[in-house]
Structure 1
Amino acid sequence: MRNTARWAATLGLAAAAVCGPLTGASVASPPSAPASLYAPSALVLTTGHGADIATVTPERAVILNCAPSASGTHPAAPLACAELRSVGGNLDALTARNTQCTKEYNPVLITVQGVWQGKRVSYERTFGNECVKNSFGTSVFAF
């Protein structure tokens, strides 16, 4: 139960950091003028060791903003945004590079919550180990 509360707190704080500026921009703009010509693309990515979100404690969380330009706390934001644009924001379409990894089972859980081009995103994936995680999505999961 404690881990679920930690995940909820982490995601809540990250969502507030991502969505806070978005809500402020819409309040400040006149009702007849759009706040931006770009649909929002802001994601919160978390990682932790374990296979089940209910028992995994988040170890790291980053924010990735992709519209109108790449920014956030993600260490490779421009590359990650370009990669996501190339697959239309479909995280399941990210493919593994040809990498040889050990068969050691040390599961790594990745979650992604937020908005991609105005549409809600909720993604969760468990990788067999850190090497397998790093082979998927050259930049998106590299944080």
Structure 2
Amino acid sequence: MRNTARRAATLALMATAVCGPLTGTAHAAPSGLYAPSALVLTVGHGDSAATATPARAVTLTCAPTSSGTHPAAASACAELRAVDGDLDALESVLGSRGDVLCTKEYDPVVVTVDGVWRGQRVSYERTFANECVKGSLGSSLFTF
């Protein structure tokens, strides 16, 4: 049941992020030649996205400009551009913050990213041991 509700919420947010800019008056010419880059990011507490209790979801649009409900949209888009949308490479490129010391308490936090990056479908899930470990990544992408 949780999984169904999570997917419904993710799909609703994604539809709003992708289709929202399409509403309104029609323009004679396109505003740019950018491939779509619209993502929905979620964070929840649990071992996996299927079993996690959703805590928060934000939208992030990176083309033609940085926007969405993400609190640091510009820097999150810059980080995505630095890894060309490869979320698995995020830690190796940005590194971890060395000034953060985390406990070994296991209170899993799962982050998901679903949507489109430069015209390509993106689906990403990562589970961190706890909120501190997630914050030590040194990325503003997952800070919401």
TM norm structure 1: 0.88
Distance 2:2 2:119 in 1: 30
Shift of 1:52: 2.0
Give 1:140's aligned amino acid.
Answer: L
Shift of 1:12: 1.3
Report the counterpart of residue 97 of structure 1 in structure 2. 97
Shift of 1:81: 0.6
Contact conserved, 1:111 with 1:123, CA < 8 A, in 2?
yes
- Say yes or no: does 1:77 pair with 2:68: no
Contact conserved, 1:10 with 1:58, CA < 8 A, in 2?
no
Distance 2:50 2:38 in 1: 24
Query: Mapping of 1:1-143 within 5 angstroms?
Result: 2-21=1-20, 28=26, 36-95=32-91, 96-98=96-98, 99-143=100-144
Give 2:88's aligned amino acid.
Answer: D
Aligned length: 139
Shift of 1:36: 3.3
SS of residue in 2 equivalent to 1:36:
coil
Percent of aligned pairs with the same amino acid: 58
SS of residue in 1 equivalent to 2:127:
strand
Distance 2:116 2:109 in 1: 23
Instruction: Check 1:128–1:72 CA distance in 2 against 1; reply closer, same or farther (3 A cut).
Output: same
Q: Deviations over 1:70-98 (max 9, x none)?
A: 10000000111111111111111111322
Give 1:94's aligned amino acid.
Answer: L
| Stretches of structure 1 lacking an aligned partner (at least 5 in a row) | none
Give 2:77's aligned amino acid.
Answer: C
Distance 2:56 2:43 in 1: 5
- How big is the alpha-carbon RMSD for the aligned residues of Structure 1 and Structure 2? 1.9
Distance 1:137 1:65 in 2: 21
Shift of 1:22: 5.5
Q: Deviations over 1:111-139 (max 9, x none)?
A: 00001111110000000000111122520
More displaced 10-residue stretch of structure 1: 59-68 or 13-22: 13-22
Distance 1:123 1:137 in 2: 18
